[in-house]
Structure 1
């Protein structure tokens, strides 16, 4: 990836933005339009030479028809000045990644004034991925195309590292399942997935409270924290305060339930903040009690 002066001297811009704006869309539109023009998408949608000598470019009409069917949220052609919704743009880039190859010129056909083409799939995809990710990085957007051409959301690095390495061995299959769903869905771009990840994490928290022996849930939760930190210690009190605060958050906001008295979360930043806070607590307790982490 190209690194500009400001990246080298001041560090790369934090990747914290979840919405593609007009400026970034203009760059992505040009990236796609250029590949339509140079025949890169002929790898999947080849235009045949009228004389039958093989492919000579990209069949833009076939490209558009299939795009409209596979990505119905985008009406192609779309103007660089008409901003689609961010999920639709991400779908569009994934569609383009399935179609791209690096054009290789073969014999020249003088009558039609074109070269016959073949395509290097790996080189074309690598270049598309690199160009798209440069635009995402330079604009501070928290998405990237993988080497396989799939979009993924970038998490803050400390949380990403924790999610990558944490193992769930709570001894309860349902708790492990909820934690694994939360881990996978918080990294997905769609807001519904991230909200669901937060709900699953809070569900896992409530189940975690009941994994130790005890006469009731309160006694079981106390036994869990007693294993995580020495009873009577300051850190044990910190854990109790945090567990109480997280329980209050779950009851006061629309995370697990939808009563009219519960306040909805109003931004994905709030979702990410609460997910990070809860996940840190759960991971610490898992590690301290020999249940993974």
Structure 2
């Protein structure tokens, strides 16, 4: 089903890196519903008292396993916390950090299955269960990604169980499907590493993506004439633009990008350099250089 608002106005832009309490509440509700149906019973079975067949989820074993692997996550799962307002205490909406939430989603995806009711046990009033692992994972992934999408959250749970950060729309398709072919194996590997790091949910890893991309830029600039970087970049720019004014624009941009790499804490670590910490600034710089690199690679391969 597609919501009427999406039909009328399109889906919400997936730009939010912060997981708000409302999103966390939706995830908690989904997982609690799955626990109640026995969807985690394949890995954490509550066993029938008259035999060895699973009849549901052993929530105690499930929670112990989660706390062992995600120690920052509190159990029972909480969606509110107490806060003092003057002489009173109020319950306010709460969500853990983004990385804790995403780890929790991945843990659940790894262990979820679709429970299939078998024989009915009249004495204990329950069904014996079997499980369809792939269907359970597909349904869980669709449910989580729907929550993310409806709230404009820029994360997506993939079929392999990994979670990626959706790049801003302007270069999303290029980043997610890029297959680098520069003729230089090391450069291809460096660009792929930068691409992969940029799609990581962890902001620290995304900062590393910017550093790796600027390293790639320096290598690309010498790819035509390895012993003469100035001549090499000139040849690259010639291939990218024959028209004089646009060629000049690209040369100015190439010079500016190199200056950025030397001025900010990207390629070097001197105390005089400026650190880049804001996620939006990281996105901006990555996209700016990635666009230039993509243009030069494509022009070189024509």
User: Aligned in 2, Cα 1:166/1:138: closer, same or farther, shift over 3 Å?
Assistant: closer
User: Map of 1:133-148 to 2, 5 A cutoff?
Assistant: 133-148=145-160
Say whether 1:281 aligns with 2:292: yes
Instruction: Name the CA distance, whole Å, in 2 between partners of 1:148 and 1:170.
Output: 28
Higher mean Cα deviation, 154-163 or 9-18?
154-163
| SS in structure 2 of the partner of residue 141 of structure 1 | coil
Q: Does 1:28 align with 2:40?
A: no
Q: CA RMSD in A?
A: 1.9
- 3-state SS of paired residue (1:57): strand
Q: 1:282 to 1:117 in 2, by over 3 A?
A: same
Which residue in 2 is equivalent to 1:80?
A: 79
Q: Kindly report which structure 2 residues correspond to 1:1-293, keeping only aligned pairs within 5 A, or say none.
A: 2-81=1-80, 82-213=94-225, 216-230=228-242, 233-290=244-301
1:166, CA displacement in angstroms?
Answer: 3.8
2:167 and 2:175 in contact (8 A); partners too: no
Unaligned stretches of 5+ in structure 2? 81-93
Number of aligned pairs? 289
Deviation at 1:158, TM superposition (A): 3.9
Q: For each residue in 1:164-202, what CA deviation from the matched residue of structure 2 results, as whole angstroms up to 9, or x when unmatched?
A: 454433333322221111121111111122111111110
Deviation at 1:213, TM superposition (A): 2.5
Moved more, 208-217 or 251-260: 208-217
- Determine helix, strand or coil for the equivalent of 1:116: strand
Q: After the TM superposition, which of the residue ranges 277-286 and 174-183 deviates more from structure 2? A: 174-183
**Partner residue, 2:85:** none
Q: Is the 8 A contact 1:44 1:98 kept in 2?
A: no
Structure 1 CA distance for aligned equivalents of residues 128 and 149 of structure 2: 36
More deviation, 55-64/152-161: 152-161
Runs of 4+ residues over 6 Å off in structure 1: none
Q: TM-score, normalised by structure 2?
A: 0.89
Flag the 1:165–1:136 CA change in 2: closer, same or farther, 3 A: closer
Further displaced range: 169-178 or 16-25: 169-178
Displacement after TM superposition at 1:278 (Å): 0.5
Answer yes or no: is the 8 Å Cα contact 2:276–2:282 preserved in 1.
Answer: yes
Cα contact 1:53–1:116 (8 A) shared by 2: no
The answer to which of 39-48 and 170-179 deviates more is: 170-179
Query: Is the 1:166–1:283 contact (alpha carbons within 8 Å) kept by the matching residues of 2?
Result: no
What's the counterpart of residue 84 of structure 2? none
Q: Partners in 2 of 1:125 and 1:215 — Cα distance?
A: 53
C-alpha separation in 2, matches of 1:225 and 1:215: 17
Secondary structure in structure 1 of the residue aligned to 2:41: helix
Q: Provide closer, same or farther for how the CA distance between residues 221 and 258 of structure 1 changes in structure 2, counting only shifts above 3 A.
A: same
The separation in 1 between residues aligned to 2:178 and 2:45, in whole angstroms, is: 45
